[in-house]
Amino acid sequence: MHSTDTGERAAALITGRSRIPAVLPARHRPFSSNSTAASGRRGLRETHPPDHFKENLVIVPVTLSCACDIKTATMVAGGKQMNVRVTTMDAELEFAIQQTTTGKQLFDQVVKTIGLREVWFFGLQYTDSKGDLTWIKLYKKVMQQDVKKENPLQFKFRAKFYPEDVADELIQEITLKLFYLQVKNAILSDEIYCPPETSVLLASYAVQARHGDHNPAIHGPGFLANDRLLPQRVTDQHKMSRDEWEQSITNWWQEHRGMLREDAMMEYLKIAQDLEMYGVNYFEIRNKKNTELWLGVDALGLNIYEKDDKLTPKIGFPWSEIRNISFNDRKFMIKPIDKKAPDFVFFAPRVRVNKRILALCMGNHELYMRRRKPDTIDVQQMKAQAREEKLAKQAQREKLQLEIAARERAEKKQQEYEDRLRQMQEEMERSQANLLEAQDMIRRLEEQLRQLQAAKEELEQRQNELQAMMQRLEESKNMEAAERAKLEEEIRAKQEEVTRIQQEVDVKDTETRRLQEEVEEARRKQDEAAALLAAATTPQELHLAESGGGGDGSSGGDGDAASDAGSESGGGELARGPDDLVDPVADRRTLAERNERLHNQLKALKQDLAQSRDETKETAMDKIHRENVRQGRDKYKTLREIRKGNTKRRVDQFENM
């Protein structure tokens, strides 16, 4: 075994002792294909990835910034050059390299160009001559590796190792974004199984990460028509139109209002990391009984799966129990720390598969141990810088939110003022009409008073005449009977006339009082209208005062863990940690189990989708997941269960599968 050399080089990649410089993001400039072609420089060019890669988050072209000849953008001076294209999750980078360029030199230039410092999670992936995906070896020349011969040579920059907990480990925004895009792509392509209700909730976070807060004025029906948001399996299994899916996603999208795009990506990953297949690399293996099985390698350890079930591991070995890993030809051996336990032995179909398993085991184990040690100075500095940047971004967002809120308040007051002004205008028009009516009433009242006065004068005159007649009647005792009768008749007529006039005066008097009351009411309304008009300027003054205030506001690649291509054996001793290491899954629970709000959201989504579910289109994975849920199992409960008992018992269980 080449344990010393291989182990050191693998550890160098994972721990950062490979002297990868902590570089800042490369210099940015607007992209122009003409200028690039004219100068002969090779730089980052715009790409058109699939819809699920397209994120309008700081995707900008850059010019390579390296300590090399800028005219040729070569990695090392002199010698024959070879064109290389590296595809990240959201862009393409092109370089010209020399025959002597190593995988590490290429990897270093990539991370320098994109401004990535958390290099220990990542690697360069390529398709070999047999069509298999392989990780580049850092300490071997690129041209000596089994890269498919193309011009340019094609590489993918991908996450090779996953954190145990994204919230605790991912520091830089670029790291978060690369993980988010890669995991999202794996879920949408069904490489990671995701139940329908979780898929819809994740889609709502993806929309928040891409488009920000939901705005009904901008994000109308059909806005998400061109976005790939759900696995095809999920849409096929439910009798729902695209508009219904969009409405369901939008309803949950509105719940995330005010969430930063980076926070939406983090929430996406926090939910995704609880999926059973998240971060697991699967390899076909056989035990000594020649039973076909799956080996799963992830950040928490090694798990064994039955051939027809990648969701539910049957046996688990945490990294803390493993002392040494090695292989000889197709035989892979794992030595437990428990010396009483037998070696854990399995067989891979090809030697190259064992090399990949070894590299992943070495890297994951090194990261596992590193997490349980104090942070290095570099990591502490990165975390401090990330905290400062996040605080600055939050402060900027809060300032923007305050400005938006102030503007909304001002606009609301302006609208209230305009509405009030319109109401007062209408009231003034009504008051003007009332005033004209009151003036007409006053004129009629004056005429009525004049008539009343005339009637009273006439009444007084008739009463005087009647009084004179009554006096004559008293004095005419000696008057002839005929004359007396005539006088009495005249007196009766005069009395009737006086009575009639008195009645007319009473009627006119009543009418006059009514008119006086109407005039008083009209004058009261007129006074109220005048008061409203006088008060109309007050809202305007308040509005101007608020608007004028706040004058300063502005509207890894593969460490050579395995030996060279010609070698058929390899291995390494794994570093021992403290004896009191706690199994990370011992007390771990899923986010849905810890977060009642998320639990209720998923429950509501599941109930909504159940009404349109087409059970005839269920896959084997769906049935396995439903059975696991029925039995109360989740990712961490299963891991705790399969790690019970001593190592020997679990090795024996594996041999008997």
- DSSP codes, 86-106: EE-SS-EEEEEEETT-BHHHH
Within 225-384, strands assigned E span 281-286, 292-298, 301-306, 315-318, 322-328, 331-336, 344-347
The pLDDT of residue 141 is 92
Q: State yes or no: pLDDT of 522 exceeds 50.
A: yes
Mean pLDDT of 536-545: 42
Task: State the average pLDDT for the chain.
Answer: 78
Q: Please tell me the least confidently modeled range out of 94-98, 459-463, 648-652.
A: 459-463
- Beta partners for residue 305, in sequence order: 294
pLDDT tens-digit profile of 435-454?
787 778 778 777 877 887 88
Q: State yes or no: pLDDT of 419 exceeds 50.
A: yes
More confident call, 646 vs 280: 280
Q: Which two tokens stand for residue 393?
A: 């971004």
Contact, 136 vs 123, CB < 8 A? yes
pLDDT tens-digit profile of 615-639?
888 899 989 988 988 888 888 888 8
> Which residue is it, tokens 């990460």?
209
- Beta partners for residue 294, in sequence order: 284, 305
The domain made up of 379-535 has a fold known as Four Helix Bundle (Hemerythrin (Met), subunit A) (1.20.120)
Q: Could you count the other beta carbons within 10 Å of the beta carbon of residue 360?
A: 21
Give the residue extent of every domain in the chain: 3-160, 379-535
The pLDDT of residue 655 is 83
Mean pLDDT of 113-127: 93
CATH class of domain segment(s) 3-160 = alpha beta
Cα(543)–Cα(556) distance, integer angstroms: 59
Q: State yes or no: pLDDT of 520 exceeds 60.
A: yes
Q: Please tell me the least confidently modeled range out of 69-83, 365-379, 486-500, 539-553.
A: 539-553
**How does residue 15 score in pLDDT terms, banded at 50, 70 and 90?**
very low
Q: Which CA distances in Å does 519 have to 435, 511, 512, 530?
A: 9, 12, 10, 16
More confident call, 338 vs 203: 203
Q: State yes or no: pLDDT of 148 exceeds 80.
A: yes
Q: State yes or no: pLDDT of 562 exceeds 80.
A: no
612 CB-near residues (< 8 Å, 6+ apart): 238, 239, 240
pLDDT tens-digit profile of 342-358?
888 999 998 989 999 99
